Amino acid sequence: MNESYAKNKPAYGDIEVETIFDTQRNHYQIVHLGWHHNRWVHHCVMHLDIRNGKIWIFYNSTEHDIAADLVILGVPKQDIVLGFYPLFMREMSDYAVG
C-alpha cells in the first residue's frame, strides 16, 4: 500500500490519519480517528492483505481505484482480488477470484 493514500486528511473535525502496516502478517490499513462535533470518529478507510501471493482489497472508502493503481504499478490483474465482492461477482471481474 502506498503511503500517499494516507496524505488525504478529512476536511472536517480534528481527525488524524493513521497507517497500520503489519509487514510480518501482511495486513495494511489506513484509519481515520479523532473528534468531529463532539463525536468520536474511528473509521477504517482502506484495508488490504497479502494472502497466498495475491493482494486482497477488503475495503476502500476513498475515491481512488486501488486495483487500477496497482495495475499501473505493474501488478498483474490475476494477482489482485476484490475481496469486498462475493465470489460470484469476483468471477465476473477481470481480477483474480481468490
Secondary element (H or E) of residue 58? strand 54-60
Instruction: Output the pLDDT for position 84.
Output: 95
Query: Going by C-beta distance under 8 Å and a sequence separation of 6 or more, which residues neighbour residue 17?
Result: 6, 7, 8, 9, 30, 31, 32, 45
pLDDT at position 86: 96
Q: Hey, what CATH topology would domain 3-90 get? A: TATA-Binding Protein (3.30.310)
Give the per-residue pLDDT at 10.
66
Averages of pLDDT over runs of 10 residues in the chain (98 residues) are 63 84 96 94 96 97 93 97 96 95
Residue ranges of domains in the chain? 3-90
Q: State residue 81's pLDDT score.
A: 98
Q: Are 26 and 51 in contact (CB under 8 A)?
A: yes
Centre a 10 Å sphere on the Cβ of residue 71 and count the other Cβ atoms it contains.
16
pLDDT at 31: 95
Predicted pLDDT of residue 14: 84
